[in-house]
Structure 1
Amino acid sequence: MTEAFSFTLKARDGAARAGVIATPRGEVRTPAFMPVGTGATVKAMFPEDVKATGADIILANTYHLMLRPGAERIARLGGLHKFMHWDGPILTDSGGYQVMSLAKLRRIAEDGVTFQSHIDGATVALSPERAIEVQCLLGADIQMVLDECTPFPATRDEAAASLDLSKRWAERSKAAFDGCAAPGQALFGIVQGSIYPDLRERSAAALIDIGFDGYAVGGLAVGEGQQEMFDMVAVSTASLPEDRPRYLMGVGTPHDMLGAIRRGIDMFDCVMPTRSGRHCQAFTWGGRLNLRNARYAEDPTPLDPESACPAAHYERAYLHHLVKSGETLGAMLLSYANVQFYQELMARARDAIAAGRFTAFADDVARRYTASE
């Protein structure tokens, strides 16, 4: 085990990259998908099963954990890893996106954000310093600066003002992190700028001047459309250092992730695998399936014969019965199979990059998913 955070590039295929992030709690192979454990749990899955899918790292959420059960309580109980029985690396987001999307009566000012909790209506203040303090209390291995998630659509002037506020918050986040982080922990900056290429470049340059261990691309997959998202990803990655990991926040579908890898992204997170599993949708190597569909009522085929996941070997007819009956096991099995599919997708992407055939691999997956839609 390393005592420091580092990123090593192992292979390239065009702009696509395969590498390894080293942390004191273990290595993360990239491209990497991080299952989302919003409230200290990857929904409907045991931590041991999440690990068994091949996941090297998971994501937890600052906003939700600071409200319930509270970062101080988790710290008293030994930190987030011990609390949720996960011994690998954890990345925590800053809570900024949830403040913008979930909180009531939020007020954004230079100092930070004041909002009403969506749980009990209590007034809560989240500043850059408090966001980092919470993440340090949780013991997160990779932490995120507090930023304003620029709403979409936004005028150029609105996006520029939001970007500048996020830059000032990034500087304060970095100073707070330097004062509380444990050895080996890392802090990522977040590129903003909406759909304006020059603002994306300006944001990246400002963050590089501050200096971070890695860089996220934020403010995308919020309604701008896939091609605009890809264009902004390409602009952002072209402006970021080669020797730091790049993380596209909140993305996404297999199409989205492969397109972003093609443009130089290394890390992803999304609730889609587990949320889809709870809503009877399965991601498989043959495409996306809706297990509510009557066509599966007498289908003895395994969910995904091409997957190594134990849950993917259950017959489609049985899974159809579980979801139609509202049985909890249906959501558990489909969540397990979906998270493992995402991990297998990343593993095959890494192999394809190393072999110099990523484009052919991505095109093949796209064909399978297009045919199933």
Structure 2
Amino acid sequence: MSRNFEYAAAMFSFKILKKSKRSRARLGVIHTPHGDIETPAFVPVATRATIRTLDTSEVEDVGAQVLICNTFHLHVAPGEKLIKKAGGLHKYMRWNKPLMTDSGGFQVFSLGFGTDHGVGKMLRSEQDKKILEGSQPRSLTITAHGVRFRSPIDGKELFLGPKESIKVQEALGADIIFAFDECPSPLSSAEYMRRSIDTTHRWAAECLDAKKNHKQALYGIVQGGGSMEMRIESAQIIGAMNFDGFGFGGEFGYDKQSMKKVIGAVSDNLPENKPRHILGIGHPEDFSIIVAAGGDTFDCIAPTHYARRGTVFTSRGPSTSLRTSRLQINDRRFLKDINKPLDPSCTCDVCKTYSRSYICSLMRAHELTGMKLTTFHNLHYFNTLATQVRKQIKNGEL
């Protein structure tokens, strides 16, 4: 792999500032047309160009450096043509920091095998490994050129392939975009997985050919599921292509140790001077695992998804610790905590202003303000945790 610690292309660059001697972790900075991203970085998910319950100024206040929006959902509604007419995603959502858009490939999986099998990014148990599927998912049709499916809004038949995905993402105008890939089920047979990664590699080349906007960075996606052999092969093939960075897609095994091994093996087989993004993984307990294995950025719906359901992430031990606890703040026992913040170690405006009792009462009454406050806190906590990870690398502790 390349030993050059800096990569630059047009208006995008990545520079490694420090490499850990204890792990694959590295401290770096990604430069984009809309500002810099200090890495490692957590990337909040703004599916439909918004963080639910927060406005963009509040998303800035929680310390977010970059957001990732969902190409599939924005294509379905309101449509990339309208967003382009409005000046692109940055102007449309009033966000003047870096943006990513995924390719829509994960939605192929979600509408297909995800619907058929009810599975996600991680296998739930050893028993899941015994369920194999060699045929196509029933909910859509995968062809050599892309995917035909029905709109979840009106049932209209739609088609999305590598050329279409790049065209949509260029119209949206994010700083970092991703190649269109097929994201197969964790329960797919080895035969299906082989066909799937071959398709992903072919589509990756088509995405590079289709890309016209030189202001955007294009990341290629490594697939292969939990198979180390296929992951390494995919990393070597995608890594040899002229991408600006790389995304790690699909599932990562059925436990944290498997995830660490997969990310580490893929990292070792990619050019060292280009950034790596882990798609859809990023609970607090994953941060140090992902970063130590070589990840630079990672996105996850956990802080916002859990917040709206009453789960609050808090520190356990010193504020500099990466250890995390969870509070189910809508539990009535927190009503008595009239003078206690969600997290005594947290410096966010929510913890400096409101009590557990107040937030508990709002959540139990299903008030939107309660969801807003828990979302704000969780995102602040995740971004603070990412800051601590960067400090640990700088201090030689990770």
TM-score (norm 1): 0.92
DSSP-derived class of the 2:53 partner: coil
Aligned to 1:32: 41
Aligned-pair CA distance for 1:174: 0.8
Shift of 1:267: 0.6
Deviates more, 1:49-58 or 1:107-116: 49-58
Write the distance in 2 (CA, Å) between the matches of 1:69 and 1:95.
15
Q: CA deviation at 1:105?
A: 2.9
Alignment map for 1:244-323 (pairs within 5 Å): 244-286=274-316, 287-299=325-337, 300-313=339-352, 314-323=354-363
- Distance in 2 separating the partners of 1:171 and 1:229: 27
Q: Corresponding residue for 2:320?
A: none
User: Paired residue for 2:167?
Assistant: 133
Residue 324 of structure 1: aligned partner = 364
State the SS of the aligned residue for 2:51.
Answer: coil
Shift in Å, 1:312: 2.4
Structure 1 residues 55-134: aligned runs within 5 Å = 55-102=64-111, 105-134=139-168
> How much does 1:329 deviate?
0.5
CA contact (8 A) 1:237 1:263 kept: yes
- Does the aligned pair in 2 maintain the 1:152–1:224 contact within 8 Å? no
The 2-side partners of 1:335 and 1:118 are apart by 26
Deviation, 1:224, is 2.7
User: 2:34 corresponds to which letter in structure 1?
Assistant: R
Q: What is the letter of the counterpart of residue 210 of structure 1?
A: M
Q: How does 1:127-206 map to 2 (within 5 A)?
A: 127-177=161-211, 180-183=212-215, 185-206=216-237
Q: Does 1:9 align with 2:16?
A: yes
Q: Take 2:189 and 2:269, find their aligned partners in 1: how far apart are those partners?
A: 22
- Post-superposition offset of 1:344: 0.3
How do 1:219-258 residues align onto structure 2 when only pairs under 5 Å count?
Answer: 219-220=250-251, 224-258=254-288
| 2:225 equivalent to 1:216 | no
SS of structure 1 residue aligned to 2:194: helix
Displacement of 1:48 in angstroms is 0.7
Distance in 2 between residues matched to 1:159 and 1:49, nearest whole Å: 42
CA distance in 1, matches of 2:273, 2:214: 22
Is the 8 Å Cα contact of residues 30 and 350 (structure 1) preserved in structure 2? yes
- For the residue of structure 2 that corresponds to 1:168, the secondary structure is helix
Whole-Å Cα distance in 1 between the matches of residues 173 and 28 of structure 2?
A: 24
Equivalent pair of 2:42/2:282 in contact (CA under 8 Å): no
| Structure 2 equivalent of residue 362 of structure 1 | none
What is the Cα deviation at residue 3 of structure 1? Answer: 6.2
Q: Distance in 1 between matches of 2:287 and 2:189?
A: 27
Give the CA deviation at 1:150. 1.8
User: Residue by residue, what CA displacement relative to the aligned partner does 1:319-354 show, whole Å, maximum 9, x if unpaired?
Assistant: 111101111110000000001111000001001100
CA separation in 2, counterparts of 1:59 and 1:131?
15
Secondary structure at the aligned position of 2:293 is classed as coil
- Give the SS at the match of 1:242: coil
Instruction: Determine if contact 1:12/1:356 at 8 Å carries over to the other structure.
Output: no
* SS in structure 1 at match of 2:140: strand
Secondary structure, aligned partner of 1:283: strand
- Distance, in Å, in 2 between the alignment partners of 1:279 and 1:182 is 41
CA positional deviation for 1:137: 0.2
TM-score (norm 2): 0.86
Q: Distance in 1 between matches of 2:111 and 2:44?
A: 20
Contact 2:10/2:214 (8 A) holds in 1: no
Residue 139 of structure 2 aligns to a residue whose secondary structure is: strand
SS at match of 1:105: coil
C-alpha distance in 1, partners of 2:393/2:145? 44
Q: 1-side partners of 2:365 and 2:397: how far apart?
A: 43
Q: Point out where structure 2 has 5 or more consecutive residues left out of the alignment.
A: 1-8, 113-137, 317-324
TM superposition shift of 1:157? 2.2
Unaligned runs of 5+ in 1: 359-373
Post-superposition offset of 1:182:
3.8
Query: How far is the alpha carbon of 1:306 from its aligned partner?
Result: 1.4
Amino acid at match of 2:267: T
Q: Which amino acid aligns with 2:78?
A: P
Q: Which amino acid aligns with 1:230?
A: K
Letter of the 1:322 partner, please give it: L
Task: Please tell me whether the aligned partners of residues 239 and 269 of structure 2 are also in contact (alpha carbons under 8 angstroms).
Answer: no
**Distance in 2 between residues matched to 1:353 and 1:207, nearest whole Å:** 28
Counterpart-to-counterpart distance in 2, 1:284 and 1:349: 16
Identity in percent: 38
336, 359, 377: which is aligned to 1:337? 377
C-alpha RMSD of the superposition: 1.4
Distance 1:269 1:24 in 2: 20
Alpha-carbon distance in 1 for matches of 2:25, 2:346: 24
Cα distance between partner residues in 1 of 2:156 and 2:266: 37
Q: What amino acid maps onto 1:227 in structure 2?
A: Q
